[in-house]
């Protein structure tokens, strides 16, 4: 009986100590946030233009803490609490980096919104910092982190804007370094030139030689200035070219399926209306093919989505290899694909569909995935059998595909012979 009472007392005491420790940690964090907010208000009360601001010194301990937060979050948390307990006064640059440290510590799966919150708080301090300092990698990397986080959350526009700001800062920093290097070279050159001038002035017998050397020196300087101008132009051109490539890549991603890299549903319907209009105007043949993977839900449920993704990718590759160069093949839903076949009659469309079906059925690679027997059901429809718009043609092919599934899978059905006539 006494032993049970002692165990209960010990458990109560341990729980009390744990609660006190958590309360102290929370209080320290709140006190540190209060100090930071107060410091921010103090620093932002007299904001100057960024061009006139000086680069602020950063304590070596804070620089070390930034590096530590990227490698060991637990150790960085302890160091951050210890720094909070000290009476060190922080300037705006150090406050900025401590917010980055908090973002790094919070950077865990599922905590992206917290990281974004800390980093955006740091960005609000930028008006109080010199542009030259903000363009350095230590401060500019915040935008690269934000771009990656927004991309994970599917915020493509915000990811693009953050990546763009990071690139601008990166090249601005490179430009600053280049200008500083050029300035050093010019200073070195000027010192050397003055030394030569002093020596030549002391030797009256070499005045003519000095004049020739001075003229040559000026010519070299002109060549250097021209070279600097050309290099600056090339850097600007490369920057514009890189920005153009990034924008083009983002536009391409908006039209592609992320898993198979085929055109997506939006791109398919946009192209379908154009193909339909061209075929009707020129009085040419046009067929549509709808293809679905048989029993795909069973594959996903029993073997997992990873196996399902492998099956989708392999089917996409096999079907793409069978398509003609002028055909438009895309993925329009989880296990469904569609193709626009210009200048193809219903007989030609059936031949293409049968080729795809047999190729997938006999493919050893797709059938080796967990010993699966992967097959597809395909429906086809022609503009000669369906009147109206592209949606009607696609709906007819969709009906034919579901008729193929209803008839036992691994078949090709056409709207004209298998559905319309019935």
Residue 110, pLDDT above cutoff 90: no
Task: Give phi and psi for 378, each to the nearest 5.
Answer: -130, 135
Residue 339's pLDDT band, with cuts at 50, 70 and 90, is very high
DSSP letter at 344 equals -
CA-closest candidate to residue 321, choices 291, 356, 357:
356
Task: Give phi and psi for 387, each to the nearest 5.
Answer: -100, 160
Identify the weakest region by mean pLDDT among 65-74, 233-242, 313-322, 376-385: 233-242
- Sign of CA pseudo-dihedral 94, 97, 99, 105: negative
A 10 A CB-CB count for 253 gives 12
Q: What is the pLDDT of residue 383?
A: 93
Identify the weakest region by mean pLDDT among 147-156, 251-260, 331-340, 401-410: 251-260
Record the tokens describing residue 276, joined without a space.
């339909």
Q: In angstroms, what is the C-alpha Rg of the chain?
A: 35
Rounded Cα–Cα distance for residues 92 and 110 (Å): 30
Is the separation of the CB atoms in 328 and 343 below 8 Å? no
Residue 164's pLDDT band, with cuts at 50, 70 and 90, is very high
Strand-strand pairing, 376-382 and 286-293: antiparallel
Is the separation of the CB atoms in 101 and 69 below 8 Å? yes
Residue 287, pLDDT above cutoff 50: yes
Q: What is the pLDDT of residue 256?
A: 87
């Amino acid at each position: 009986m006494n032993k049970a009472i002692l165990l209960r007392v010990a458990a109560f005491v341990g729980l009390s100590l744990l609660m006190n420790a958590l309360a102290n940690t929370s209080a320290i964090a709140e006190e540190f946030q209060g100090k930071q907010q107060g410091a921010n208000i103090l620093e932002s009360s007299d904001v100057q233009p960024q061009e006139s601001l000086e680069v602020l010194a950063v304590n070596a301990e804070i620089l070390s803490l930034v590096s530590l937060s990227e490698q060991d979050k637990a150790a960085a948390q302890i160091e951050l609490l210890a720094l909070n307990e000290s009476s060190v006064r922080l300037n705006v640059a150090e406050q900025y980096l401590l917010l980055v440290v908090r973002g790094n510590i919070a950077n865990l799966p599922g905590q992206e919104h917290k990281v974004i919150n800390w980093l955006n708080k740091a960005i609000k301090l930028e008006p109080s910092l010199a542009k030259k300092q903000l363009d350095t990698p230590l401060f500019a990397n915040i935008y690269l982190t934000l771009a990656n986080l927004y991309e994970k959350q599917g915020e493509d526009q915000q990811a693009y804007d953050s990546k763009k700001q990071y690139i601008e800062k990166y090249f601005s920093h490179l430009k600053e370094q280049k200008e500083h290097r050029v300035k050093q070279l010019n200073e070195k050159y000027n010192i050397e030139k003055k030394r030569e001038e002093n020596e030549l002035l002391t030797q009256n017998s070499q005045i003519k030689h000095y004049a020739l050397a001075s003229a040559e020196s000026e010519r070299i300087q002109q060549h250097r200035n021209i070279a600097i101008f050309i290099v600056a132009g090339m850097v600007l051109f490369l920057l514009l070219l890189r920005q153009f490539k990034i924008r083009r890549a983002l536009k391409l991603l908006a039209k592609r399926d992320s898993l198979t890299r085929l055109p997506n549903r939006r791109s398919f319907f946009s192209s379908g209306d154009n193909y339909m209009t061209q075929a009707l105007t020129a009085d040419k043949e046009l067929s549509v093919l709808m293809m679905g993977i048989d029993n795909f839900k069973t594959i996903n449920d029993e073997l997992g989505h990873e196996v399902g993704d492998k099956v989708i990718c392999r089917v996409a590759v096999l079907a793409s290899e069978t398509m003609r160069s002028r055909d438009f093949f895309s993925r329009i839903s989880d296990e469904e694909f569609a193709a626009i076949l210009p200048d193809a009659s219903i007989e030609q469309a059936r031949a293409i569909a049968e080729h795809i079906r047999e190729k997938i059925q006999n493919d050893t690679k797709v059938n080796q995935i967990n010993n699966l027997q992967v097959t597809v059901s395909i429906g086809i429809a022609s503009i000669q059998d369906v009147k109206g718009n592209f949606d009607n043609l696609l709906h007819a092919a969709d009906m034919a595909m579901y008729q193929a599934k209803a008839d036992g899978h691994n078949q090709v059905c056409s709207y004209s012979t298998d559905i319309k006539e019935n």
